[in-house]
Amino acid sequence: MKKSLTFLDLFAGAGGLSEGFIRAGYSPVAHVEMDAAACYTLKTRAAYHWLKAHGKIEIYNDYLHRKISRSQLYDSVPESLINSVINSEINKDSLSFIFSEIDGLLGNQHLDLVIGGPPCQAYSLVGRSRDSNRMMGDKRNYLFVYYAEFLKRYKPRYFVFENVTGLLSAKSPEGKLYFEMMRSLFREAGYNTEFRTLSANDYGVLQKRKRIILVGKRGKETGIFPEPEEWKPDVNVGEVLDDLPKINAGGGSLFSCALSEYNGNYLYESGIRDDCFPVTLHQARPHTEQDLEIYRIAVQKWNKKGDRLDYNDLPEHLKTHNNRSSFLDRFKVVSANEASSHTVVAHISKDGHYYIHPDIQQNRSLTPREAARLQTFPDNYFFESVSEKPGRTAAYRQIGNAVPVLLAQKIAEKLKEKW
């Protein structure tokens, strides 16, 4: 096996899947992502990895401490590295441009692996139930067609495609399963595929988050799925969050904050806590009186029976959402005493998760940093906005949409053994 396997990340988001593969020893050639804020996050993370590898990590530390600007950070690494993040929607009109950019970055290298999954809204059960046409006219249903074009062009040995479990039941207007359509297309491109439904909390992630992982290998070989090793640490949500400063709604800071002493193992074993860098983005969104009233009801329900709030159980004056038939658990309680939290979602900035500390009930949603920890992103991972000024909303969206880093790492490690 060659020293470092190369990969391309499509629909990369903020890089949760990519980060897991980098940890396992793979080298990214390019990331393709349409969201501009997520692209800045990917560029900043690429700068971090390069600076660390070249003994210049103090520059990244200066950036987190706001001693230098984002532009200065990017100027400290090769321009080709920053350009390896391609901010583009993947469609028929953009393919030739994206191919050209990747070709230039690859040079004489061969691409070993393609990873990534299209946006999940078109396949998710919630997305279908919220849309009057059940997402049938949504162009995102067919993004796998473009994914296959990358396989045909670069002929990687493997690919790893991830998506929500709703993919297994999503159908075209003609009644065909999209999942079977894409597997057939990948087969035509020369790949045998196998899949599993994996739950993140089986692999060291303190979160009930299920994903379809479809793995393809060029040729007709079977038994190709890299069965990741389970890890179920004896740790609860409270331990993952309790060394962060205790704050109220609207409190905290998007900039560096000090951590409390931590005597456990999980935060280090998972790669989350890094004492060499400041912790950022630990700021809670402010709440209205209506928010707090909803949270009081949600917490009472949790404390009495351990049940989470159904949106339709709220008094009528508290129901501000028009959608009353789906996504009824939009207000989720995250208890410190749980071994796994509910799925961290991308819309915390609008609805949110309420965090219950065993000693101090904090009247607030999770901060971006708390959400990132539940997604097993390391504390030194910075989530950018389009402007250089950091913001909660962009961070929440990127974190909630991401693949948990530890889940990705476990898959990547097992896949590497098959090379």
Catalytic residues: 120
> d(Cα 84, Cα 395) in Å, to the nearest integer?
21
First to last CA, the chain: 7
- Contact predicate 6/37, CB 8 Å: no
- The arrangement of strands across the sheet holding 191-199 comes to 85-87, 27-33, 6-10, 113-115, 158-163, 210-218, 191-199
> d(Cα 158, Cα 224) in Å, to the nearest integer?
9
Q: How many helices (H) and strands (E) does the chain have?
A: 15, 12
**Could you tell me which of 171, 165, 226, 152 has the C-alpha nearest to residue 193?**
226
> d(Cα 33, Cα 237) in Å, to the nearest integer?
31
Tokens found for residue 393:
């909303």
Q: How far is CA 323 from the centre of its chain?
A: 25
CB half-sphere exposure, 64, CA atoms < 13 A = 23
- State the pairing for strand pair 85-87/27-33: parallel
Furthest-apart CA atoms within the chain: distance in Å: 64
For 1, 284, 289, 315, 416, the CA distances from 244, given in Å and listed in that order, are 42, 12, 25, 34, 35
- Contact predicate 20/407, CB 8 Å: yes
Tokens found for residue 90:
């993947």
Can you give the C-alpha Rg of the chain in angstroms? 21
> d(Cα 413, Cα 394) in Å, to the nearest integer?
30
> d(Cα 64, Cα 278) in Å, to the nearest integer?
7
> d(Cα 29, Cα 127) in Å, to the nearest integer?
32
For the CA atoms of 312, 315, 320, 325, the dihedral, rounded to the nearest 10 degrees, stands at 10
Name the DSSP letter for residue 133: T
> d(Cα 233, Cα 278) in Å, to the nearest integer?
26
